[in-house]
Amino acid sequence: MSAFFEVSSLGVRIGDTTIVNDINLDFREGEVTALLGHNGSGKSTLLKVLARQLSPAKGDVRLVGNRNHRTDAREFARTVGYLPQHPPGTDGLTVSELVALGRYPWRGPLGRYTPDDYACIDQAIADTGLTPFRHRSVDTLSGGERQRAWIAMLLAQQTQCLLLDEPISALDVKHQVETLRLVHRLAEERDLTVVVVLHDVDLAARFCDRLVALRGGRLIADGTPQEIMNSGTLESIYGVPMGVMERAPGQWVSYVH
């Protein structure tokens, strides 16, 4: 598998504070990677740099293949989709109107929407189980439904890569699992590269191919769930004594001592 993003000696500063320091990392094509770490460890910042929302103070991010990380804004948006941690209020847009905005990178300011676009929009809405709500205003939905509406918009964007910043923080267990399962399935079917910031390490281990952990802006762990899910590594990530049980192959339960 070739690398989709190549991050080399990346450093990010906000004011005088160094948020991310000297990170070297590849995100491989078709792989679902979870970013783990405690609050303030630099996960969201790293994701923002990947999404070109922040420019690094030092180092470089390359989109590999024939794609350039410094390409035109709309072309980049056809390649990489980004879901911010706190999507803002949408001021009366309905679900289907919000999802339709995901086609902008493909159609631009004046291009007409084709039936294909509408099919894509409908498919995204159906994939996230929002068909009954499609004409409801996004602002009136519950937190979880709103989060799914945003994910649907990202799906309609039809990118090769999804960058999700805590996409399941407002969801109940059922929807957490279903959302991650959807992401995983899409990644397999469409060969998507996914980088997702998660707080629940058990779900991350269950649904992601690879776990990457940051602490204080530095990379401290990188590997398959098998390699990460042991008490020593988890302790070094979160800074509290932790234990891990493997109930069945690929299903871990972590707990705090």
Partner 1 sequence: MYAESQVASAAPRLPGKLPLTATLLLLGALAASAAPWFLERDPVSVVSAFWSYDGGDYTSVLAHFSWAPRVSIALLIGCGLGLAGAVTQQVLGNPLASPTTLGVEAGGQFGVTLATLFAPALLAFSQDLVAVAGGLLAIGMVIALTWRLGFSPVTVILAGLVITFFMGALNMAFMLIKGEWLGNLFIWGAGSLVQNSWQPFMDLWPRVLILGAALVLLMRPLQLLQIGQASASSLGARVGLLRMLALFLVVLMSATVVSRVGVVAFVGLAAPVLARLLGARTLQERLIWSMLLGGGLLLLADTLAHWASSWGDGSLVPTGTTTALIGGPIILLALQGFKNTHHMPGQESNPGAFLPKRRSVLVTGAVLLCLLLATFFVSMGWSPGLQEWSWTPIADWGEAWVWRGPRLLAAILAGVCLGLAGSLIQRMTGNVMASPELLGISGGAALVMVLIVLTGTEIGRAGQLGAATLGAAGALGLLILLARRHRFAGNQLLLGGLALYVFMDSGLRLVMASGGTVAAKLLNWMYGATWLISETEALSLLGLTLVICLTLFVAIRPLTLLALGDTSASSLGLPVTRARLGLLILAAILTAAATVVIGPLSFVGLIAPHLARVLGQQTVGRQMIGSALAGGLLLALADYLSRIVIFPSQLPAGLLAALVGGIYFLWGLSRHGRA
Task: Round to the nearest angstrom and report the end-to-end CA distance of the chain.
Answer: 38
User: Which runs of E-coded beta strand occur in the chain?
Assistant: 3-14, 17-28, 32-36, 58-63, 80-83, 161-165, 193-197, 210-215, 218-223, 242-248, 251-256
Does the protein bind partner 1 through residue 11 (CB under 8 A)?
no
Lookup result for tokens 């460890």: 41
CA dihedral of 139, 40, 13, 59, whole degrees rounded to 10: -100
Residue closer to partner 1 (CB basis): 7 or 50 = 50
Q: What are phi and psi of 209, to 5 degrees?
A: -80, -25
Q: Which stretch binds partner 1 (CB under 8 A): 25-33, 90-98, 212-220, 237-245?
A: 90-98
Q: Which stretch binds partner 1 (CB under 8 A): 21-29, 36-44, 62-70, 175-183?
A: 175-183
Residues between 118 and 157 with contacts to partner 1, criterion CB under 8 A: 127-133, 135-137, 148, 150, 153, 157
Secondary structure of the chain: what % helix, strand, coil (to 5)?
Answer: 35, 30, 35
Question: Which residue of 34, 49, 63, 80 would you call a contact of partner 1, by CB under 8 A?
Answer: 80
Segment holding 180, helix H or strand E? helix 173-190
Question: Which residue of 6, 18, 22, 53 would you call a contact of partner 1, by CB under 8 A?
Answer: 53
Does the protein bind partner 1 through residue 209 (CB under 8 A)?
no
Minimum CB distance to partner 1, residue 243 (Å): 34
Minimum CB distance to partner 1, residue 256 (Å): 29
Minimum CB distance to partner 1, residue 181 (Å): 8
d(CA 54, CA 56): 6
Q: Which residues bind partner 1 (CB under 8 A)?
A: 51-53, 72-78, 80-84, 87-94, 97-98, 101-102, 104-105, 107-110, 127-133, 135-137, 148, 150, 153, 157, 175, 178, 182
